[in-house]
Structure formats: C-alpha cells, structure tokens
Chain A
Amino acid sequence: MRDVIIIGAGGGGPVVAKELAARGLDVLVLEAGPRHADPREQWTSFENDANNPLTGYFRLGPEDRSRPAWFREWPQNSFVWQLSGVGGTTQHFYGNYPRAYPGVFNDYDKPDRAEYDVNHRFPFSYGEMVPYFEWVEATAPVLTAAMGAKEQTFFRGCETLGLPVQTTKTTLGPSYRPQENAVLQPGGNAGRTTDRNLLTYPQATGCTHCGYCFQGCMRPIGAPRNQFAKRSTDNSYVPMALTADVWAPGGRPVELIADAYVTRVHAESRGGALTATGVTWRENASGAEHREQARVVVLAGGCTENPRLWFNSGLPNPNDWVGRGYTDHFFDWVVGAMDDYTGNPKGVGSAARLDFPPYGGLENVGLPPALNAFATTLSDSGIRGQYTNGRGPTGPWDGPAGRVIGPEFKELISGGLDRLLSVLVITDDDVEADNRVTLSALPADENGPIPKVSFRHRNRTARTNRNREFMARKAAELLRGAGAKKVYRIDWAPLILHVQSSMRMGESERNSVLDANAEARAVKRLFVADNSALANALGGPNPTLTTQALATRTAEKIFQRYFGGDPWVRTESPVVSTDPRISTRLGELGL
C-alpha cells in the first residue's frame, strides 16, 4: 500500500511528488512515456529527430521509437501537440512562468471585472494563490529573462504602443516586459561565445542562448541535471523528488517508473462514498500488468489523457463535465519580415511578452526552420492568394490571413530566418462545454478506447473571438513599430497546446469536476494536479506556473486531509531546485 500514486510526470505530477516526498510520504510516480535520463546520449537538437510528432523523441508514444506513436482522434483541421515522457510538455516548453491575471479569481472587483470568463472563475482568491506562486517561483527558480536580439526588436515595437513596462510579478494592466521565466540567467561564458570549448560547466552556467528550447535543454555541457538552464520538470522537480532525502528533513525519495501506462483507476464504496483505492498499469515494453493500492491517487496525465482514463475506469460523471471545457488559448501567429537582423532562431525561445488583460497576450517566439515552416502553414484560412476557406480576415497586416506556402514562403525566408520576428497571439478563451474529450469510436489500442478531442473552432464565444482579433491587431501594430516591412497573419487552425481545464475545479458543482481542493467531487481520495485542473484559461498567461502553484496547494490539501499533517507554504522556506545537495546526490545515483 502506497501513500500516494501519481499518474503522469509532466508539468504537474512531479510538483505533488516532490512536495509530498519532502513530507516523508511513500510516493510512486508512473509515467506513460520514456525517461530521458541521459539527454547527451538520447537527444540531438535536430527538429525531425526531436519534434516529429510521430517519431521524434518528443512525441506521444512509448519509449521504443520504432513502435508507432499513440493515436488520438482529432475530427477537425487541428493539431494536438501532446508529449509523453518524464517532463511532459515542459520538455519542449520555453520556460515561461507568468502569473495568471488576478481577474480570473473569484474575489476580483476592479471595473473590468465582467470582462473575464465570469462563469468559470477560480473558486478562491488571487491573494490565496500568491504564496503558492511565490513558492514555485523560488523553487524553479523563476527569474527575469535575459535579452537577445529578438527581444530587443520586440521591445522596440512595444515602445511604440504607448503602454507601460511591467515591473511587478502580478500583471495589473496592459503592459510589456521581459518574461519571468524558469531559465537560469547566463553566467560566465554563456551567451557570450559560440566556441563550444568555452561553453562547458562551470565556465559557463545557465542559458547559453543555443536556441534549442523546443528540442530539450541539456546545456551547458557537463552541468548536473538540476543545473540545466531550462527548468523543465525533468530538470527541476523530478530531480528534487528523486533526492528528497538529502534536502528535506525526514524526506523520502519517490519511486519513478517510466514507460508505464496506467489503464485503470480503481475505486470502491467506503462509508457510502466512492473512494479511489489504486491503479492498474501496463509496462509498454512487455505488456505486463501491475496493480498497486494507495491511500490517495493523483491524476496528472494531461487534459486529454485524464478524461480518457476516467472514462475507461468507469468512474461516475454525474454532471457530464469530465472532459469538457477544454481550452487552448486559441493561438494565432503574426509574422513580420524585417530588413534588420532579429536573431530569430537564437536565444531562449521566447523571452519577451506583452500582456493585455482581459484580452490575452503576445509573445515573441524564435523558431528553427521546420517549426517556423509548420507555424506559417497551419491555418484555417486556406492558402494566401489562392483561397480563404471562408475566412481570410483582413486588418493591419498585409493581405488576407492564411497559409504562407510554396514560392511565397520561400521568398519570405530567402533573407534568412534571422530577418523575421514572429509573434504568438495568446487569447483568453472562454471555457466552452462543447470543446471536449470523449472516447473515440475508432479502434481501441492496447491501453483501451482512445480519446477524441473535439473543437468547435469556428464557433467559439463572441468574447473569445473578440479577444483574438484584438490581440492579432496589437501584434501587427507591434511589428510595424519594430520596423516590419511586411506583416503576415496566419489565422492558425487550432494548434492545441497550453491545454487547460478539461477536469476543471470550480465554484459550482454544476460545471466542474473538482472542488476547491482539487479533489474529485464524485470520487474521494482522487485528486487532479495538472493543467486540466485549472478553472479557466487564466486570462491568457502560459499555464505552467499556475498549474504548479495549484499543485503545490493541492499537495498541502492532500497532506492535511488524508495524512493529518500541517501545511507548510506559509511557514517554511522553499529549497531552490539548483541546490548543490541535489546535484551531489544525482551524481551518486548516476543521474
């Protein structure tokens, strides 16, 4: 009998694992995908090797890359960018850790209060969340991003918009700033040379500006795993969870089993309440099944996999909200062609942002060639100059929105990727019941019926569409201000990333799966601790920090309610994940 079993080692699961391991609980973490324990051996930094969704080392599939990726049904022009593996999507993220806007919490009373998704607020106050934000910010650690050429160009555009610079962690109104990100600031030779001989730890520390964030961070050369620049959870929380005995008094290291697919959560009636009792999981390689009992089970498999597992486990769904409310920030992409050098594919993937509550935000994003090509050819507006697919919105960009492909794309990149500045539009999209996960009617796989992700992408709410159009226009203005000679709007088809809220917590039991403690309303001792638990789309800020702050709070709730312990966030100081005791212990463990 375990104390806690955590399903999924992505952005959220390792947070609960680390916090409860530090309290001395017996924690098992099961991860469906691989564990990349030795990135220097297992990774390259090439796009097809890394990012091919079917065969890359960052895909949704088992560890053995000669076997197919797991099939999920998407019945529309869309792309769900899922990853398996320890670290989950934080393996390829850009380390951005902005806080959620205060307007999405239930105590917000400013004049623009009604401009947010008021039907789907967090069931507690922003003030209650702040200590958890601070705890995660100290742990990761979250720092103010260093600036490279593309950030400097982005800021030049921001300076023309008449907005203030944000100098606080909390976003109080429309403003721009360097990202608050979980990327270690460059030290020593890092960011100052291209000579690989000078980029070896500890002569170089932190971010070397290599530009490979989307291919995973294994830099600087020779750094201990917990000193890699980008704080994906496989570099931050997972190393802490595996070494909890050396940095936490009374701590107990977690057991982590990768390439292990959980196929069922077990529950039984206890004292009249349905109660989680454990899980069944399968070794991907051998197919061998295992059953484990636990006092508490935590779902952290992601927005698509959690509902699937729930349905396949036969758990109750009394208000029909399991899998509903799936939000994705309804991204769009606006690209500027510049005469000047932008350094586009160098440095941290995205180190500058503009926030515009309650509409959403903008980020600069640098991309290598294939991802850049993918980004400019995924559209719901057809091919520019050929057909619009019934859309092709016009505005302060050049011509109708749409795919830039063929001769036009070749022309666009002929001056070099580093003459482009790309801006990602992040929309505050409303929680919508019809954007959801169900079980697919297509054939099941070895782990059971597969999930289907449906998006009514042309029928989002008026507020969501308003927000996206507003922010796309801001992006075009920013690019013109930065000196763009030509501006392209892509009108992205749903690129389903930053996914949130498919198992949402909420104020009302009519439209939420979780109560305010992130415990399932229908199944006791069953918690959710990843993006799917978020009450809404946060206003637009990237979800990782809020997910991890909420997971920290959930760990406290679990410890208080089922293990008789006291909360710690308001009474103790966090240990930073780069702590040398962790590095030493990782070395002893060969990790």
Chain B
Amino acid sequence: MNPKPPLARRAFLARIGLLGAAVGAGGLLPRSALGPAPAAEGDPLSGLVGLLRPVLAELSRDTLNGLTVFVVPGTDRYSTAQGTPSDTPGGLAAEGTDFLMNALDNFVPFPDQVAKPIGAALATGLADTGIELPGLDLLPVQLGTLDKALRALLENDATLPLSLPIASTLNLLATQVNPLAVNGPFLSPFARLSYAEKARVFQLLEGQDSDLVALLDVHFPEPLRHSVSGLLKFVGGALIEFATFGAYTEYAVFDERTKQLTGRPVGWQLTGYQPNGPVEGWDDFIGYYQGRTEVHD
C-alpha cells in the first residue's frame, strides 16, 4: 500500500480547515504539540487527540458561523467579510450557529454508524485533487503527526459530532471554489468566502452528480452506498432550510423553565411579528365572503 504523499495530505488538511485552525496564523495548537512524539507511555497520539477535539469543535463552529450569516446576514464581522453588511441583526445574533450545532450534534437523526464513516471517508479518502494551495511551513513529520491524530480521532471517537463532517465538507468545497480561502481571517475556509462563493459551494453540494458524493460513495459497501449519497443530497438541501428556520425562531430567547421569552427574537424584529408579544387572539375577523356562513349541495 502506497502512503499518500505528504504534500497531498497537507493540502487536504488545509482544505478542510484543520491545518490553519490547528497551527496556522492564530491557530489553536502550539506548534510543539506536533513535534516528534514525546517519549510518552502508551499511545503517543492520545494527548494530541485530546488537544485536537476542541480545535475541531471551534473549526466547526466557525464554519457554521459562515453558514448562519449566509442565510441571514447581520451586523457581525462574518457578514461584512462575505460582502453583505447589514444594519439589522442577523443569524448570529439569533444564535443560529448554536441552533445548528445543537441540532446536528444531538438531534439530527443521523446514525453514528453513518456519520462516523462519512467523517473517516472525508479524512482518509479525499486526497488533494490537484488544486494548488498556498502552503504552510509544516515539516512532513509534524504534518504526519497531525494527520494521524485526526485519523485516530475519527476512527475511535464513539460518537462523532455530525457538525464536523458537515463543516469539513463545506470547507473542502470552499477551497475548490476559491483555493485562496485556505488562508485568511477566521478559522474556516468556508467563512472566508464571499456570498457568491458560498452560493457556489451549495451549487456543488446540491448537484445531482456531485464529485464529492461520488467519491464518498466509493467508501461504502452496498446497499449502504446509495443511502449515503442520498443522505448527503438531503443534507445539502436541509442545511439551508434548517439554518434559516433556526435563525427565525425564538431559540435564543426561550426560557425552557418558564416557557417564556426573555427578549424579542431577532426573527420577530426582522419581520414585525407579534409587536406586543404572544397573543391569545387578534381582532382580524372581518365577516364572511359575500355574507355566506354555510353552503349546501
């Protein structure tokens, strides 16, 4: 079995956003964490895997911030970065990212038995597709350590948060749309895209003949193969709908204990809904069309 060339893996790790999030400018890991493995007892990767988990969580969050403002831009810096600044609050103020992560990680009924292989397939199966990327000055041995740690995490984590493979997918496609997105402000390549570039990502994700879907399918046996590609088509469609639904609900200001609102939801501010809060009824009854209150054959 031929090991994949380190440069290809570097490109891959950069494209899913991990390289930058971990050790790029403003990265979350100390470079020394990737040094030659310390003379640790047991699994030399275990410490790094532990360090990597919060990095991946932050990367996922940053990626989904980029999605939240794509569906509902606001006054935040992510909206400005995508080129759609606004003077009214948007999805981030509505805690749309928390809504999405909570939904994806805890409630999207996506079995772990499927989420895990998708994550693994993304990490192990999709090497560089020949896109030239600005590199980071990481030594092959450091790169190898990071790569092994990611694989160890994806293969051993009992429950992979679904937000991670979804964020990875968005970032992979982001760097396909714009290779320069591997570097820049924010942790995630997807969050660095312009509005039109993000739309292009969804165009690729939604496409019926998505290369990504085809590549992932290779990693699953029948009869699961087409189920996995089908699920990705569903996710490609559902991400936008879920993100929008969440951003326009009362999610951020609902007190579960009292079942009351603690403030006016962003979605209500944007739409003028219920100006004086929840109601028991409206004075909306006009009468009956042409005065008819019943009909018969």
Contacts and interface: CB of A to CB of B under 8 A. Distances in A.
A373 B237 CA distance: 14
Contacts of A373: 244-245, 247-248, 267
Interface in A355-400: 368-374, 377-378, 382-383, 386-387, 389-390
A192 B285 contact: yes
Contacts of B278: 44-46
B297 interface: yes
B272 A406 contact: no
B173 interface: no
A406 B198 CA distance: 11
A220 B88 CA distance: 36
A208 B280 contact: yes
A338 B15 CA distance: 45
Contacts of B290: 165
Interface in A175-221: 177-178, 180, 185-186, 190-194, 196, 199, 204, 208-211, 219-221
B288 A191 contact: no
Contacts of A477: none
Given A78-B234, A79-B238, A406-B195, A208 B281 contact: yes
B234 A191 contact: no
B19 to A, nearest CB: 29
Contacts of A168: 295-297
B224 A442 contact: yes
B271 A372 contact: yes
Interface stretch (A66-74, A103-111, A232-240): A66-74
Nearest to A347: B284
A155 B254 contact: no
A23 interface: no
Most buried by B among A69, A70, A178, A415: A178
Interface residues of A, number: 95
Interface string A121-165: 000000000100000000000011011110110010000000001
A403 B240 contact: yes
B282 A211 contact: yes
B132 interface: no
How many chain B residues sit at the interface, stated as a range, is 35 or more
B7 interface: no
A413 interface: yes
Contact of B109 (A68, A185, A390, A414): A68
B42 interface: no
B118 to A, nearest CB: 12
A192 B71 contact: no
Contacts of B234: 74-78
Contacts of B84: 406-407
A441 B284 contact: no
A155 B289 contact: yes
A169 B296 contact: yes
A152 B281 contact: no
B249 A47 contact: yes
Contact of A210 (B107, B208, B281, B289): B281
B223 interface: yes
Contacts of A347: 282, 284-285
Contacts of B195: 406-407
A31 B132 CA distance: 57
A46 B70 contact: no
Interface string A43-63: 011111100101100000000
A191 B281 contact: yes
B105 to A, nearest CB: 11
Contacts of B72: 406, 409-410
Contact of B237 (A71, A352, A378, A405): A378
A219 B282 contact: no
B103 A54 contact: yes
Given A221-B280, A370-B267, A382 B203 contact: yes
B244 A149 contact: no
Given A71-B109, A194-B276, 6 more contacts: A151-B286, A169-B297, A345-B274, A378-B237, A383-B203, A413-B271
The 3 closest A-B pairs by CB, nearest first: A75-B230, A191-B285, A208-B281
11 contacts: A44-B259, A192-B283, A194-B282, A194-B283, A219-B280, A219-B281, A352-B289, A410-B88, A410-B270, A413-B271, A442-B114
